[in-house]
Structure 1
Amino acid sequence: MNFQINTGEELFLVVILAFLVFGALGICVAVIHLYLSVKQLALPAEKSPKEDLYAGGTFWNRLFRVPPSSANDSLLMEHAPDGIQELDNPTPPWFMFLFYGTIVFAAVYLVIYHVAGDGDIMNREYTTEIAAADKAREAYLKKFANSVNENNVTVLKDAKAVTEGKKLFDQYCVACHGSAGEGKVGPNLTDEYWLHGGTVKAVFHTITEGVPDKGMLSWKKQLNPIQIQQVTSYIFSLKGSNPAGAKEPQGEKLAAE
């Protein structure tokens, strides 16, 4: 565990922790001292009737400090506000153990979760779960993507797939084909003319394998088959858009699928 104080908030938490720890120790010492002092002052030569009430009981009676009901008269307190009589029963030992245990638990919790940073507080737990979900999603998409190939690829029509294809096109294809597919170094993608085939399978193959003789890279290492299908679908959505500055037709004219 690498303990470092990097921010003012961490320093503040350390100070609070120190106050809690030393405060708890101080309270324990004070309580023990007070208990011993009171016990010494109140201790007569012989055991008091109140002590005898708990001395002869069972383990559970001593643990919970529960005297027999027949001893209630000897436990009555002198004052009786509004005529209500009270019994002078001490705090049960189990309750005191529980109380001091909560102080120790709070100190340990503060160190682990807010000072050392080893505990899964809400924000850290959320980040961890999101990262795990992203990995699972990537693994699923990778597995699913491998099911798409040149033989079964189709044009995707849903808006989400086309939008994803546009994002990929803008990232990888704009330099050669223009932001609207009008063509620059590469051919115009919005007309009916194709250099390497105009079917969805042909376009998918061209993007996947590239055209080395013409300077077009193979994108199968950068893009998975699903992403290539999305780019292909976006290219088909550009048909007939007639962007400004469109490059002259190249290749063979083919009817749209």
Structure 2
Amino acid sequence: MNVFILYTAGLLGQEPAKSIWDISSGQDLVLVMLALFLLVGMITVGVVALNLVFVLKKIIGPEPVAKPVDTRSWWQRMAGLHALNQEKDLMMEHAYDGIAELDNPTPPWFMGLFYGTIVFGVIYLLIFHVFGTGEIMIQEYTQEMAIADKQREEYIKKVAGSINENTVTQLKDAKGIDAGKAIFTQNCVACHGANAEGKVGPNLTDAYWLHGGNVKAVFHVITEGVPEKGMVSWKKQLNPLQVQQVASYILSLQGSNPAGAKEPQGEKEGMGQSVATR
């Protein structure tokens, strides 16, 4: 459809002017095509520009809203605390079954503690496992054992140092007897049996003794030993109080008559009657 643009003169009875769509030569066709391409290009550029603006707005998001002034105290900031009237500002968009979640960050004190443990771990690694300048466990153990030995010596001097072969007495209290039993079970059952019935060593539950059956004699035998009979000295392993305890436990077994007791050996205490040793 041809669109005609009439000039004023044409309206007055003169010949109408040519329409821009009246194509009478190849040059006119080229000009029309260029005009169409320019029009299509401008429309395309406009559509693309609008799309870019929309995408940029979506990426950038809404304009940031100025945050309210933080009026919390230093302790509230350190502990990550917020006032109840601020919960609406911390509330997150999603909710489950009517339960809203607040966007509360991890408290600063906790984060400081967490990062502090990382720093401590790095320092510990360097000192103990890279440079080896720290006191590792074996060194700590050696030091603690030295301290324990020193304390043991002081204890012996203070408490057990007053106990010797001449001053020792037989203990009767349950605590002392139980302590002696524990020592006997740990050190003496290999030779004398679990119930002191005698194995390699003599029976300690009857009235016959090779070296005396009172507390002083038993204390002496345990302390000094009887090397020719295979009885070792325990004075380096046991302090005088422990020797007193185990001697008292042995004497408490008199007359217990355990099963499988070894035959009597030595002299009957206080009777002067002797039995041949084997």
TM-score of the pair, normalised by structure 2: 0.48
Q: Residue 171 of structure 2 aligns to which amino acid in structure 1?
A: L
Q: Find the aligned partners of 2:254 and 2:197 in 1 and give their Cα distance.
A: 11
Larger radius of gyration: 2
Q: Does 1:111 align with 2:88?
A: no
The gaps in structure 2 that reach 5 residues or longer are 1-62, 81-106, 126-143, 272-278
Q: Which has the higher contact order (CA 8 A, sep 6+)?
A: 1
* 1:193-233 Cα shifts (integer Å, max 9, x gaps): 11111111110010000001111100111211111111101
Which structure 2 residues correspond to residues 111-130 of structure 1 after superposition, within 5 A?
111=118
- Residue of structure 2 equivalent to 1:252: 267
Alignment of 1:37-76 (within 5 A): none
- SS at 2:216 equivalent: helix
* 1:240 counterpart residue number: 255
- 1:73-106 C-alpha deviation (Å, 9 max, x unpaired): xxxxxxxxxxxxxxx9822486387468535533
Q: Is the 8 Å Cα contact of residues 192 and 255 (structure 1) preserved in structure 2?
A: no
Say whether 1:215 aligns with 2:230.
yes
Find the counterpart in structure 1 of residue 69 from structure 2: 90
Correspondence for 1:157 among 163, 172, 176: 172
Q: Which has the higher helix share?
A: 1
Distance of aligned partners of 1:191 and 1:93 in 2 relative to their CA distance in 1, 3 Å threshold: closer
1:226 corresponds in structure 2 to 241
Deviations 1:128-176 (A, max 9, x none): xxx89x9497566444222322121111112122122112112221122
Q: Secondary structure at the match of 1:146?
A: helix
Separation (CA, whole Å) in 2 of partners of 1:150 and 1:92: 81
Structure 1: how far apart are the matches of 2:124 and 2:175?
40
Between stretches 157-166 and 236-245, larger displacement belongs to: 157-166
In structure 2, the residue matched to 1:16 is: none
Partner residue of 1:194 out of 192, 209, 213: 209
What is the alpha-carbon root mean square deviation over aligned residues? 3.8
Write the letter of the residue equivalent to 1:238.
L
Aligned pair count reads: 161
Distance (whole Å) between structure 2 residues aligned to residue 190 and residue 103 of structure 1: 67
Take 1:103 and 1:236, find their aligned partners in 2: how far apart are those partners? 63
Match of 1:174 in 2: 189
> Normalised by the size of structure 1, how large is the TM-score?
0.51
Residue range with higher mean Cα deviation, 197-206 or 241-250: 241-250
- Identity, % of aligned positions: 54
**Secondary structure at the counterpart of residue 252 of structure 1:** strand
Question: Does the 8 Å contact 1:209/1:218 carry over to 2?
Answer: yes
For 2:212 and 2:156, the matched residues in 1 are separated by: 27
Name whichever structure is richer in strand by fraction: 2
TM-aligned CA distance change 1:162 to 1:117, over 3 Å: farther
Taking a change above 3 Å as real, the CA distance of residues 114 and 235 of structure 1, as seen in their structure-2 partners, is: same
Moved over 6 A (4+): 112-118
Deviation digits for residues 3-36 of structure 1 (CA, Å, limit 9, x no counterpart): xxxxxxxxxxxxxxxxxxxxxxxxxxxxxxxxxx
Task: Give the CA deviation at 1:235.
Answer: 0.3
- State the shift of 1:255 in Å: 3.6
